[in-house]
Amino acid sequence: MLLTDSRVRAAYAEGAGIYRIIPSAVAIPTSRDDVVRLVRDAAAKHLALIPRGAGSGMPGGNVGTGVIVDMSAGFSRLSIDPGRRIARAGASVTWGAVNDAAKPHGLRLPPDPSSGAFATSGGMVSTNAAGPRTVRYGSVRNWVEALEIVEADGSIRILERGAGSQGRFALTPESRLLIPSRFPKTRKNSSGYALDRFAESGDELDLLIGAEGTLAIVTEVHWRLDTIPAGLAGLGVGFADLDTMTEAVPFLVSLRPSAVELLDETLLRLLPEAPTVACLLLVEFERESAAAARGVVGDAVRGLKQSAIHVETAVSREGLEQLWSIRRQASPALARLPPTQRSLQVIEDGCVPLDALGTYVAGLREIAAQRGIPVVIFGHAGDGHVHVNALPDITRPGWHESLRGLFDDVTNLLARLGGIPAGEHGAGRLRAGVLERFYGRDVCELFRAVKRAYDPLSILNPGVIIPATDWSPLATLKVGADAAAIPDDIAGKLRDMERSAAWATPKLELIR
């Protein structure tokens, strides 16, 4: 059943990113059979379907003019098989719920997206989500054992790790030679279809992970779990300049940390308890014992004694929790911005080779200053992966043009440094039109071939990964005079939800 009430459609017009796009309708399936019927009906009527979970995705893959398919209402089955270390989770089951259920068995799902409290299993798979611990454990791709999917013709399949491909899409010898030369040499990548991983593994599973709902709709995920380490310790390390920080990161990565997080001075100056440094690294180590974790912290401190200007250690879980509390101050600080200044995720997911990290952060600062747009910079330093929130004053004349200039300049910078525009959030609508800059025309033609093979009618999330013909990254913004009109009360509730990151809120609650 499609919901077409204008208030319902308004409640689904926004996600966590920059866009406001009013859909034509909303569907809220609660079972796999509901999804099958919906997809078959869409294929018959050529309706566009936009699958979404909590709506916390940043680059606009969860909004569109077609039918929003809200997968967060059903698909809540969750079971743990401790012997096989497997969690079977419906598409709506969050990372937090998986870990809560696995913890009594001494198990966990190691990748930990910052949005884990509300990030759904289907959403995490669709974007190949990652997080602070990716530096040691990789993205969620490494932990997916199987997927249950509904394809664009309404058929149901289960794809398993190690099962190879059923031949829906195959690489030619020429494309196998092309891919290694055109894919980035970054530690993380969530931009486009993972042809590089598919070429290595031969597993169809790797094409579906990170496909952003453009090839099939995920209804269930089988997660591989890992044991919870006994030892945990860490440190906070401050540096006087970016060059010194950049030199320290490879040393820290060589010690096998579970996380190396960056807080740049652009963010630190908003946090009253932050040390006065140019950049701060928060480092976590997990080991088989508490003594081993304390020992590697000592190794890190000794190795950085000549370069760090601030060092704070934590040798227990409680101490590490306190140390990392500064990271949790970021969202409340951004929520305190004046009403005229909005936090917009326009350039928020770039990833560069590790040796280019300092150059990238310095370039971000310089471009932001030239364009007259304040930014805050933070991210996953151990992977060369940087998040940026642009903070334009939307009452200032020319702010929209400056924001577009910021997007273009940073895209150029990423391309020059051998980076990629999305490390963990996906290309979405925002970055679909720049992928050819990074991969070249031939690889993007392969992307189109993948899309045709799985979704020949292009009913699944059109405009995501494969750009629309009228692609424009900053059209249909949720702010400014040109923003689509929606009821004031719903707009206010969406803004409150954004401020408090309350993405788990059922969207139909917003219309009451």
Q: What confidence tens digit (pLDDT) does each residue in 67-108 have?
A: 999 999 999 999 999 999 999 999 999 999 999 999 999 999
Report domain extents, the chain: 2-73+475-503, 78-227, 231-333, 341-425
Residue (of 378, 406, 379) closest to 392 by Cα position: 406
d(CA 61, CA 427) in angstroms, rounded, equals 8
Summarised one tens digit per residue, pLDDT across range 187-202 is 999 999 999 999 999 9
Cα–Cα distance list, 478 to 10, 274, 389, 481 (Å): 12, 32, 15, 9
Instruction: Say yes or no to pLDDT of 329 above 90.
Output: no
pLDDT at 1: 78
Summarised one tens digit per residue, pLDDT across range 215-225 is 999 999 999 99
Q: Which single residue is written with the structure tokens 């009527």?
A: 45
The percentage of residues in the chain with a pLDDT greater than 90, rounded to a whole number, is: 92
Instruction: Say yes or no to pLDDT of 272 above 90.
Output: no
Q: Regarding the domain delimited by 2-73+475-503, which CATH topology (the fold level of the hierarchy) does it fall under?
A: 3.30.43
d(CA 382, CA 249) in angstroms, rounded, equals 6
**CATH, domain 78-227, list 3.30.465.10, 1.10.3720.10, 3.90.1150.10, 3.40.50.1860:** 3.30.465.10
pLDDT at 336: 78
Q: Output the six-digit token pair for 385.
A: 């992966």
Q: Output the six-digit token pair for 200.
A: 């290595």
pLDDT at 290: 94
**Residues 6+ away with beta carbon under 8 Å from 19:** 60, 63, 429, 430, 476, 477, 478
**Residues 6+ away with beta carbon under 8 Å from 107:** 80, 82, 85, 225, 226, 227, 228
- 3-state secondary structure (DSSP) of residue 264: strand
Q: What is the CATH number of domain 341-425?
A: 3.30.70.2740
**What's 2's DSSP letter?**
E
Instruction: Say yes or no to pLDDT of 338 above 90.
Output: no
Please indicate whether residue 212 or residue 316 has the higher confidence score (pLDDT).
212
* Residue 128 · residue 424 · CB < 8 Å: yes
Residue (of 105, 99, 101) closest to 117 by Cα position: 99
Residue (of 454, 143, 20, 148) closest to 10 by Cα position: 20
Q: Same CATH topology for 231-333 and 341-425?
A: yes
Summarised one tens digit per residue, pLDDT across range 135-178 is 999 999 999 999 999 999 999 999 999 999 887 899 999 999 99
Query: Span 454-479, mean pLDDT?
Result: 97
Instruction: Say yes or no to pLDDT of 337 above 90.
Output: no
**Residues 6+ away with beta carbon under 8 Å from 297:** 233, 234, 235, 285, 313, 314, 315
Instruction: Say yes or no to pLDDT of 415 above 90.
Output: yes
Instruction: Say yes or no to pLDDT of 335 above 80.
Output: no
- Domain 231-333 CATH class label: alpha beta
- 3-state secondary structure (DSSP) of residue 95: helix
Cα–Cα distance list, 38 to 42, 69, 155, 216, 460 (Å): 6, 9, 12, 13, 12
Q: Which single residue is written with the structure tokens 């200039």?
A: 405
d(CA 66, CA 21) in angstroms, rounded, equals 10
When the pLDDT of each residue in the chain is averaged and rounded to a whole number, the result is 95
Residue (of 194, 200, 205) closest to 149 by Cα position: 205
Number of H helices, E strands in the chain: 19, 17
pLDDT at 126: 97
Q: What is the band of 333 on the pLDDT scale with cuts at 50, 70, 90? A: confident
The dihedral sign for the CA sequence 398, 399, 402, 408: negative
Instruction: Say yes or no to pLDDT of 114 above 90.
Output: no
